[in-house]
Amino acid sequence: MSNTSPKPQGADADASAQDTLYASRRKLYVRAVSGIFDNWRWALVWITQLIFYGLPWLQWNDRQAVLLHLVERKFYIFGWVFWPQDVIFLALLLIISAYALFFFTAIAGRLWCGYACPQTVYTEIFMWIERKIEGDHVRRQKLDQAPMSGEKAARRGLKFLAWGLVALWTGFTFVAYFSPLEELLQAARTLSFGPWELFWILFYGGFTYLFAGVMREQVCKYMCPYARFQGVMFDPDTLVITYDEGRGEPRGARKKGIDPRSVNKGDCIDCGICVQVCPTGIDIRDGLQYECIGCAACIDACDQVMDRMNYPRGLIRYSTENAIKKHWGAKDILVHVLRPRTLIYGTILALLCAGFVWGLATREPLRVDVIRDRAALAREVEGGMIENVYSLQVMNMSEQARSFHFSVSGLPGVTVDGENLIEIGPAATQSVTLRVLVPYDSGKPGANPIEFEVRADDDPSLSLREETTFLFPR
Amino acid sequence: MLKWIQVLWPSFLIAAVAEAVFFTVIDPQELYLFGEPVDYSRIATYSIGFLGFWLVCAASSLSTIFLQRPAKEINRRT
């Protein structure tokens, strides 16, 4: 890679673009920051992680409240039990998430990335541990450059250990969403995990460690697909983290307490703290960049500097392209939140959510598949009756055992022979064999349409009709 | 590092999607392996399935970056 020509052309330009991507990464020593947006981020860290680490411990109806039970192929989510047939709800949920992302991105940029993305949240936790053990950004850099010593080894070892424990706990929690927590705890006591459970705990934990401890901003820069297409949801009225160039430039150092205009300077004192606190290592003063994850650390940092200089806050702030250009205030920005793009995203999002809720509310906890017995098509039995045998796959999707009545209609004199009240266990599928009898003269030779009705014994409103055919001998 | 990411990461994402779609539609217990019903536990089948999808997708990513090598890199003699 010794291409030193000043301006590569054509195919070479591509190659050199790749070369720069392969350039070894400059390790970032991110300076800690405090302020409103940092508090928001920590609030979100607490909320998301209390939910993530806590949910598997909740109980509901004497079982784990949230369990995506892969072995049983059933998803338990509080009062609901979802089956593979309910995949439409999962699909809807994914589409809702996508539209929520579009909606919030159109209004205020990368809110998700800056506050709620697991990559941000775990990086925040891992950096907090790093800071507690190795000190601030300056001491960390010194420690990196220092030759190996007892203290360095101890601090490093302690950091890796603390990271490892958080990562392992995260991996364990992740697996507890798919495999019952109780069984996992039992296995943990004797360290006798199933091979695959152990594999997934180490896999998820290992990647948490790698992404949050080692790779950090590279995940956002090189791996995140959203970072690549988020630009299409932006428009000139989207709130993004903006450096107010008109107010800040020309930047430069000056004595405290003097009016910057008197020395021909803007409000930016060029202290560089906004760059030091940036988790992706960019300079927000260069304008909006795809690397910016919208974490607002630079806003918090700059506001503190402005306070110290006795300048008004907001040299770096959430603003829109139009607001900066046209010198709008907060009210104008708010008015422009309502615009065709946000209204369309918002309407679609609201409709999808309504559909999801409606679907959940009207979801029948009963499903029936009728399968004709292929072995014995139609049989003449005593009393001048024709018999057909059916196998009904009945799914009781509710969490209590239920008895169901089976009846049949569609032909004169059609009846179900024998027992027609059958109990099916909670959240269970059962195959029910039914013999249906019809007087020989009440249908035509060949197939005749009939209809089964399955009705819950305890709740007459819960019923289902399923069509099938009754065969007469030719 | 970047080459590793380019091979392993997109294939991981697509494998996750493929896994979800495949096993939503197909119950692992309905699968046959060399004419015999699959008798691994479901967790094992899901896991092997995922790693299999990942491997296939990674092979595709690997061929992509292999064929994407610029002329300069191929012509260069070491």
Which CATH number characterizes residue A456's domain?
A: 2.60.40.10
- Mean residue pLDDT across chain B: 86
Contact B72 A70 (CB under 8 A): no
Residue A413 Rama label (left phi>0; alpha psi -120 to 50; beta) = left
Contact B5 A223 (CB under 8 A): yes
Last residue of a domain, one of A363, A390, A408: A363
Give me A396's structure tokens: 């009781």
* For chain B, domain boundaries: 2-72
State mean pLDDT over B50-67. 93
Distance from CA of B63 to the nearest CA of A (A): 17
State mean pLDDT over B53-78. 85
Q: Which of the 8 DSSP states describes residue A86?
A: G
Q: Does A186 touch chain B (CB under 8 A)?
A: no
One domain for residues A352 and A377: no
Of B9, B25, B71, the CB nearest to A11: B71
Sort A357 into a burial class: Cβ within 10 Å, 0-12 / 13-18 / 19+: exposed
pLDDT at residue B77, as a whole number: 63
One domain for residues A266 and A395: no
One domain for residues A82 and A230: yes
CA distances from A173 to A50, A212, A336, A431 (A): 11, 17, 42, 36
Chain A CB contacts of B40 under 8 Å are: none
The complex's ipTM works out to 0.82
One domain for residues A143 and A176: yes
Give me A126's structure tokens: 């891992």
One domain for residues A435 and A307: no
How many helices and strands (H and E) does chain A possess? 17, 16
Contact A199 B25 (CB under 8 A): no
Beta strands in A148-275 (DSSP E): 240-243
One domain for residues A333 and A374: no
Half-sphere exposure of B69 (CA within 13 A, CB side): 11
Q: How far is CA A86 from the centre of its chain?
A: 19
Residues in chain B: 78
- A428 part of a folded domain: yes
Q: Which of the 8 DSSP states describes residue A213?
A: I
Distance from CA of A280 to the nearest CA of B (A): 16
DSSP notation for A374-428: SSS--EEETTTEEEEEEEEEEEE-SSS-EEEEEEEESSTT-EEES--EEEE-TTE
Contact A433, A440 (CB under 8 A): no
One domain for residues A401 and A322: no
Residue that is written with structure tokens 């760059």 in the block:
A275
Distance CA A375, CA A368 (A): 21
Chain B CB contacts of A183 under 8 Å are: none
Give me A280's structure tokens: 């992706």
Dihedrals phi, psi of B3, to nearest 5 degrees: -65, -40
One domain for residues A372 and A340: no
One domain for residues A117 and A201: yes
Dihedrals phi, psi of A253, to nearest 5 degrees: -75, 150
CA distances from A92 to A61, A96, A359, B3, B39 (A): 26, 6, 10, 35, 33
Going by C-alpha positions, the residue among A437, A438, A430, A407 that lies closest to residue A420 is A407
One domain for residues A79 and A143: yes
pLDDT at residue A22, as a whole number: 42
Distance CA A98, CA A91 (A): 11
Distance CA A262, CA A25 (A): 42
pLDDT at residue A165, as a whole number: 97
Distance from CA of A180 to the nearest CA of B (A): 12
CA distances from A467 to A58, A121, A385, A390, A395 (A): 41, 52, 21, 12, 17
3-state helix, strand, coil in chain B (%, to 5): 75, 5, 20
pLDDT at residue A17, as a whole number: 42
pLDDT at residue A285, as a whole number: 92
One domain for residues A359 and A441: no
Chain B CB contacts of A25 under 8 Å are: 1
3-state helix, strand, coil in chain A (%, to 5): 50, 20, 30
- A6 part of a folded domain: no
Distance CA A128, CA A131 (A): 5
- A7 part of a folded domain: no
Q: Domain range for residue A395?
A: 366-472
- A10 part of a folded domain: no
pLDDT at residue A20, as a whole number: 41
Distance CA A277, CA A186 (A): 44
Report the run of H or E that residue A67 belongs to, with start and end.
strand A66-69
Q: How far is CA A208 from the centre of its chain?
A: 15
Distance CA A66, CA A147 (A): 49
State mean pLDDT over B47-70. 91
Q: Does A460 touch chain B (CB under 8 A)?
A: no
Contact A46, A125 (CB under 8 A): no
Q: Which residue of A has its CA nearest to B44?
A: A196
pLDDT at residue A221, as a whole number: 87
pLDDT at residue A359, as a whole number: 92
Distance from CA of B10 to the nearest CA of A (A): 8
Contact A223 B9 (CB under 8 A): yes
Per-residue tens of pLDDT for chain A, all 474 residues: 344 434 434 444 444 444 444 445 678 888 888 889 999 999 999 999 999 999 999 998 888 999 999 888 889 998 888 888 888 898 999 999 999 999 999 998 899 999 999 999 999 999 999 999 999 988 999 998 989 999 999 999 999 999 999 999 999 999 999 999 999 999 999 988 888 999 999 999 999 999 999 988 888 888 888 888 888 888 899 999 999 988 988 888 888 878 888 888 889 999 999 999 999 989 999 988 888 999 999 999 999 999 998 899 999 999 998 998 888 888 889 999 999 999 999 999 999 999 999 999 888 888 888 888 777 778 888 888 888 888 888 888 888 888 898 999 998 888 888 778 888 888 888 888 888 999 888 888 888 899 999 998 888 888 888 899 888 887
Chain B CB contacts of A206 under 8 Å are: none
Distance CA A360, CA A364 (A): 9
The CB density around residue B7, as the number of other CB atoms within 10 Å, is 20
- A17 part of a folded domain: no
Contacts of A432 (CB under 8 A, 6+ apart): A391, A392, A393, A394, A406, A422
Domain count, chain A: 2
Q: Which residues of B sit within 8 Å Cβ distance of A?
A: 1-3, 5, 9, 13, 24-25, 27, 41-44, 46-47, 70-73
Three-state secondary-structure class, residue A244: coil
Distance CA A322, CA A302 (A): 22
